[in-house]
Structure 1
Amino acid sequence: MSYDLLFTGGRVLDPGSGRDAVLDVAVSGGRIAAVAAGLPREAAREVVDVAGRLVTPGLVDLHTHVHPGATYWGIEPDPVAWCSGVTTWVDAGSAGAYALPALRRAIGGYQVRVPVLLNISAVGLTGRTGESRDLAHCDTDLAVATVAAHRDLVVGIKARIDAETVGPHGLEPLRRALAVARACELPLMVHIGAAPPTVGELLPLLRAGDVVTHCASGIALGRGGLDPALRRAYDAGVLFDLGHGSGGFAFDVLEAQLAAGMPPHTVSTDLHGRSLHGPVFDLPTTMAKLLAAGLTLAQVVAAATVAPARALALAAGTGTLAEGVPADLAVFAVEPGPFPVADVHGRRRTAPLRLRNEATYLAGRLLPPRLPAPPPPWIPLTAAQRTALAARDRRIRDLLTTPLVTPDDLADQFPRPPDR
């Protein structure tokens, strides 16, 4: 057996396949060919030594927004993906029926995989909020027809249910989203936020397998974080997703839920224009916050790989390194802490370690570096964030305007013929 790539000597942590050991990973034709100890190096076209590193499946972020230029919240995924290990970015409701074809075209230009949750509001997230204040936009027949026309892309339905988004309509947008989800046999993701409606009113409507995102929101759940409806929903099979974002995660709420035996099923970033430069930054940083709350590395990796893949019934093999599946994988340095981390309200905890991405592969191809675009003018930034962004731009410019090597390190590529 010959291999295109062979990763040797790394700790393979793949909860979906039950692996946590020092193993080699072989790739052929963009798929995992073998995972075992002592695979023959001579059989590989390229050998990548990952000794002392952590090898995981490509991370799966269950809640992102990746439609810049057409939405208030959207960002380009590729400049974050190549240095974070995230190969699957679930777009959580950026587009409704009116804009899904445009989002589909945008996804065609991305390097990463982007399954989509269709927003129940046909206008999607063009603006900051309020997309369900006009119930005419929450057209169930149109949403069902849109899913049918894009069944290969749409993996669920999304509804934001908070006072700003729904206005006087309360639970009606949620009921319509549930009707679409039932008709299309898809899960529903529900964003919770400032009441009304309260979580006690909306959670009983959800079904087993539906997802409540921002599950540790101090805004939606208050200081206690343990509304009795949470316990009932959790026990009934509703999935809890972290959905960090710029306002959806509080350490005290998460810790209360952990103490009550309700850990989040999935860890996601809600990465968008207002969270990219902090407080989220990326998925590995968010994962470190769950480590700070007391979850193990294996639990956190599972919540960022196989668990979100199963929650949305993503393509077979997503979030695992099983033989025969697409070779989406990430290589991390495991850096021991302590590292200070903070929730959206500035409350701090200490993470025992962090994962620093060293390489990200999609279907066996190394994702190349990509520079991020500057934030659009409507994104609020602190003076410190603006200063840091400017300093980063200067460092990048300095790096790219300095010759890569000295003249002594060059070769004569086209030698002149000898003098006659």
Structure 2
Amino acid sequence: MDDTRYDLLLRGGRVICPASGIDGVRDVAVRDGRIAAVAQTILPSAAAEVVDVAGKLVLPGLIDTHAHVYQYVTGRFGLNPDMVGVRSGVTTVVDQGGPSCMTLPGFRRFIAEASETRVYAFLSAYLVGGLEGHFYPNLYSPDGVDVDATVKSAIENRDLVRGIKGHAEIGGFARWGIKVMEMAAEISRRSDLPLYVHFGQLWGLPESGANGEDADTIMERVIPLLRPGDVLAHPFTRHPGGFINEEGVVHPIIRAAMDAGLKVDVGHGSHFSYRVARASLPAGVIPYTLGADMHGYNTEVPQPAGTPDEHHDDENHPFLGQARFSLTQAMSSMMALGIPLEQVVPMVTSHPAAMLGLSDRIGALTPGFAADVSVLHDDRGRFLLRDNEDTRVIADRLLRPAFCLRAGRRFDADSPILPQAIAA
């Protein structure tokens, strides 16, 4: 008689599931691609396969709230979704503004449906979506926004579209003022979806200069357009127009906005600065979610021998030559800044699930949920981390992905874009 009740048992890891209030050594059992049980002890004989994860972290499948995975269509920005996702230990990725109402059908067919990773999108407010805006800034004018069409697309594709993406940056304001952001906020309100707002210079100024716009005033002009649940991105950006003004002080409106229900997403990427983070954290700017913001300009993408490196041939792009990173590396950076692991884990699990309106299906190790699980190495020692200003930090802990389960199927963390640990 076969007493096997489970397909897979993850045995002896430190399980942290903020949604369930679990933090301790537990066993996690999987059956038919779903979480079957989480308990202090589950008999190994009850499972067809047992994986010893002692000494490792066992977390709900990591959720990257800021990805760029509309491969090819968004030019050099778009990375392969599984390289960013399951092959990096991340089970769910959210493409921030890659698809638009015009290109969403292609995103659904060739990215979301074709990937092993669970993929969602925040729909671009712009008809062109997340093309390489530093080349074509005029495509991001008010004439490039169709409010009615974008609202219609968002509402009709709710299974895939979980929010709207807009940009509040000095280059756009110098060209068109606040009009585009007002249109993005209208799309968000009418579709009843959160608006994710990029802060920090992105496209550069027009030849005529700033046209009287002051980057330090963007934040206080945009926040009144937003609603509770909307997301302020790049709190630790090194670029003008972010959370910190020219005097190096956090804008007073930020704390009030957070108290009123607005959320903060790190959006690590090429923006992240330890210097700015150290000024922001004491002022209460604690991130709610932790998007990695990897894209083809800030991620070293190995190319087959004899082929040109399509990601690094634009010498004028501001993001070239940056440090290699990942979502788990970004988690390590938060810990190096003094945020405890127990506060970092919700940033990549239960909080993103809530941001997406999907707490009933992802972000937790709840029996009956799809078995999305991330297993991480928790290395101790001295490790060198650096940001995009080449500030170097010595961390005593480094998180690295070992493998993940996506709906119960195992994927080893073998992505070629993962950073290598550097001993200090």
Superposed pair shares fold, TM > 0.5: yes
2:82 aligns with: 78
| Deviation by residue 1:49-70 (Cα, 9 ceiling, x = unmatched) | 1111111111001001001211
1:7 aligns with: 10
Matched, 1:338 2:382: yes
* Secondary structure of the corresponding residue to residue 352 of structure 1: strand
1:56 aligns with: 59
The question of whether the paired residues in 2 share the 8 Å contact of 1:218 and 1:225 is answered with no
The question of whether the paired residues in 1 share the 8 Å contact of 2:235 and 2:285 is answered with no
Shift of 1:316: 2.0
Structure with bigger gyration radius: 1
* Secondary structure of the corresponding residue to residue 223 of structure 2: helix
| Deviation by residue 1:349-376 (Cα, 9 ceiling, x = unmatched) | 2222011211111000012576659xxx
Aligned match for 2:259, one of 235, 252, 273 = 235
1:404 aligns with: none
1:255 aligns with: 278
Mean alpha-carbon deviation: is it higher for 177-186 or for 277-286?
277-286
CA distance in 2, matches of 1:369, 1:39: 26
Aligned match for 1:178, one of 151, 171, 185 = 185
2:323 aligns with: 279
Mean alpha-carbon deviation: is it higher for 75-84 or for 30-39?
75-84
CA distance in 1, matches of 2:282, 2:7: 47
Shift of 1:343: 2.0
Q: What is the TM-score when the length of structure 1 is the normalising length?
A: 0.84
2:307 aligns with: none
Gaps of 5+ in 1: 374-384, 389-420
The question of whether the paired residues in 1 share the 8 Å contact of 2:402 and 2:412 is answered with no
| Deviation by residue 1:288-343 (Cα, 9 ceiling, x = unmatched) | 11011100011111111111111121262311111111100111121013212122
Aligned match for 1:319, one of 347, 356, 363 = 363
Q: What does 1:306-385 correspond to in 2, within 5 Å? A: 306-314=350-358, 316-367=360-411
Q: What is the TM-score when the length of structure 2 is the normalising length?
A: 0.84
The 1:287/1:177 distance shift into structure 2, 3 A limit, reads same
The question of whether the paired residues in 1 share the 8 Å contact of 2:170 and 2:218 is answered with no
Matched, 1:200 2:220: yes
Matched, 1:29 2:52: no
Which aligned segments of 4 or more residues in structure 1 are displaced greater than 6 angstroms?
none
Gaps of 5+ in 2: 202-213, 301-321
CA distance in 2, matches of 1:84, 1:131: 35
Q: Could you tell me the percent identity over the aligned residues?
A: 39
CA distance in 1, matches of 2:138, 2:39: 50
Q: What does 1:18-167 correspond to in 2, within 5 Å? A: 18-72=21-75, 73-107=77-111, 108-129=113-134, 130=137, 133-165=140-172, 167=174
CA distance in 2, matches of 1:163, 1:261: 25
| Deviation by residue 1:140-172 (Cα, 9 ceiling, x = unmatched) | 001011112312110000001213345521211
CA distance in 2, matches of 1:370, 1:85: 9
CA distance in 2, matches of 1:354, 1:371: 17
CA distance in 2, matches of 1:369, 1:83: 5
Mean alpha-carbon deviation: is it higher for 31-40 or for 162-171?
162-171
* Secondary structure of the corresponding residue to residue 298 of structure 1: helix
CA distance in 2, matches of 1:280, 1:269: 11
* Secondary structure of the corresponding residue to residue 27 of structure 2: strand
Shift of 1:227: 0.9
Shift of 1:131: 6.2
AA matched with 1:119: S
The 1:131/1:14 distance shift into structure 2, 3 A limit, reads farther
The question of whether the paired residues in 2 share the 8 Å contact of 1:57 and 1:328 is answered with yes
AA matched with 2:411: L
AA matched with 1:156: G
AA matched with 1:335: D
CA distance in 1, matches of 2:340, 2:85: 24
CA distance in 2, matches of 1:103, 1:366: 25
Aligned match for 2:332, one of 262, 268, 288 = 288
CA distance in 1, matches of 2:131, 2:174: 17
* Secondary structure of the corresponding residue to residue 116 of structure 1: strand
**Number of residue pairs matched?**
374
* Secondary structure of the corresponding residue to residue 126 of structure 2: coil
The question of whether the paired residues in 2 share the 8 Å contact of 1:4 and 1:46 is answered with yes
The question of whether the paired residues in 2 share the 8 Å contact of 1:216 and 1:225 is answered with no
AA matched with 1:103: F
The 1:314/1:167 distance shift into structure 2, 3 A limit, reads farther
Q: CA RMSD in A?
A: 2.0
Mean alpha-carbon deviation: is it higher for 86-95 or for 259-268?
259-268
2:308 aligns with: none
Shift of 1:132: 5.4
CA distance in 2, matches of 1:324, 1:238: 31
Matched, 1:224 2:248: yes
The question of whether the paired residues in 1 share the 8 Å contact of 2:86 and 2:116 is answered with no
* Secondary structure of the corresponding residue to residue 181 of structure 1: helix
